[in-house]
Amino acid sequence: MRATSSHAPTRRPVRYWPGVVAVALTATVTVMPGFAVGALAPAIEAELGISRTTVGLMISGFYAATALGSPLAKRVAVRLPAPLSFAVAAVAASVVLLATSQADRPITMAAALLPGGLSNGLVQPVAGRLIAVRVPEHRRSLAAGVVGAALGAATFLPGLLVSLVLPAHGWRTALLAAGVITLVPVAVAPLARVPPGPTPTRTGRDPATYGVTGVLVLWALAAALSATGNNAVATYFVPLGTHAGLSATVTGNLLSLSALLAIAVRLAAGALTDRAPHRNPAVITGMMLAGGLGLALVAISTPVTFVLGAVLAFTAGWGWTGLLLATALRLVAGRAENAGHTVQTGIYTGASIAPYAFAMLSHTVGLSGAALVAAAAALGAATAMAAGARAAASRTVSGAAAARAGRCSRPAPGPHRRR
C-alpha cells in the first residue's frame, strides 16, 4: 500500500501552469516582429522612402514563412525537446528584430524577417502537444486561451513602443528594445517540458476519425478568413487610427489597451467554455461575427466608431484563437501536433495575405474601403466555422453509430472485472 501511495498524481494539476505560461511567453515574442514592423510602419516608410504596400509585402513574407513552414515545423515538433524548440524560436525572434533595426533597405528588412517567420512556426505544434499531454481535459480551453493570448500580448508591446520609445528615440531604437525583450522567454523555456510518453497515432480506419479532415479544412479556412481581417487591422492599427482623427500617441496607447482587453477575453472565454467545451464551435462563430461588426465600425473612420470597433475587433474578433486550438485538440485526440498545425496554418495563411492585400486595397479604395473588405472576410469566416461545426456534429453521430455497430458484431465477453 505504501508503494502505491508514493506516486503523486495530485501534483499534476498544480504543475502544468508554469509550462503553459512559458509557452505563452514564447508565442508572444516569436510573432512580435510582424506586429512591431506594422506598428512602426509610418516611421519606417518615411525614413526608408518606401510605400505602405512595400512594408505590407515584407510583413506578409514573415507570416507566409510561418504558414509554409508549418508542415516542416510539425515534424520537427515531434523530434525536438519542447524547451529547445521554444528557446530556438525566441532567440531567432530576437536576432530578427535586432537585424531589422539595422536595415537600411527594404530588401534587407524583408530578408531579415523571413527566418523569424520560419522559427515562429515551431511554437503552435509543440504548444498543442504540451497541452494535450500535461493539461487535464477540463482545463484545456483555459490553457489554450493562455497560449492564444500571446497574439494579444504581441500587439501590446509594439503599442507601448509606439507611444513611449518612438517619439523620443525613433523606430530603430524601438526595434532594438523589442529584440532585447524577446530573450526573456529563453530563461523559462525549461518549464515547458513535455513528459515522454506514448503519443498514439491511428493508422487504420477508426470510426472516431471519420470525417475529421473535412472539419479541419473548414476550420482552417475560417481561421484564415478571420485572421485576414483582424491581422490587417492589428498590423495597420496606427495608420487607421490617425486616419480616423486620432494622434499617433493616442492610437499607440489604444492599441496597448485593446491588446490587454484581448488577453482578458481569451482567458475569460477559456475558463467559461471549459464548463461546456462542446459549445466551443458556436462560441467561436459568434466571436467571429462580433469581430466583423467591429471591423465595420472601424471602416466608418470617426474617432468614436474607431475606438468602439477596435475594441470589439480585438476582443471578440481575435478572442477565438485559443478556443479553436482546444476544439481541434478535442477533435483529433492523440494527434496534438495536427491540431496545432491546423490552427497555425489557418491563422498564418490569413496573416500572410492580410498586410499586403490590405495595403493594396487601401491604395485602391482607401483605408475605410479596405476595412469593409476585412469585415466581409470575418463574415465568411463565421460561415465556414459554422459549417465545420455542423460537419463535426454529424461526424460524431456517424462515429457513434459505427462504434455501436462494431460492438454489436463482436461476441459477448465473458466475466470480467470491467463494469
Distance CA 293, CA 309 (A): 7
Mean pLDDT by 10 residues, the chain (419 residues): 46 70 92 90 91 87 88 78 91 95 92 92 83 84 84 81 89 94 93 65 47 84 89 81 88 83 85 82 92 93 92 84 82 67 81 83 88 92 92 65 51 50
Q: What are the CB-based long-range contacts (under 8 Å, 24+) for 293-300?
A: 293/375, 295/229, 295/230, 295/233, 295/371, 295/372, 295/374, 295/375, 295/378, 296/371, 296/372, 296/375, 298/233, 298/240, 298/244, 298/371, 299/368, 299/369, 299/371, 299/372, 299/375, 300/368
Residues 6+ apart with CB under 8 A from 223: 321, 324, 343, 346, 347, 350, 381
Give the per-residue pLDDT at 337: 61
Amino acid 338: pLDDT: 66
The pTM score is 0.74
Residue 372 vs residues 38, 63, 137: alpha-carbon distances, Å: 20, 22, 39
Where do the domains of the chain lie, and which CATH numbers do they carry?
17-193+207-403 (1.20.1250.20)
Which residue in the block uniquely carries the three cell numbers 508514493? Answer: 6
Cβ(251)–Cβ(242) below 8 Å: yes
Whether the Cβ atoms of residue 295 and residue 229 lie closer than 8 Å to each other: yes
Per the CB < 8 A criterion, the answer to whether 186 and 87 are in contact is yes
Instruction: Return the pLDDT at 29.
Output: 93
Listed in sequence order, the residues at least 6 apart from 306 whose beta carbon sits closer than 8 Å to its beta carbon are 240, 241, 244, 245, 246, 297, 298, 300
- Residue 186's pLDDT is 94
pLDDT at 398: 53
What's the first-to-final CA gap in the chain, in angstroms?
24
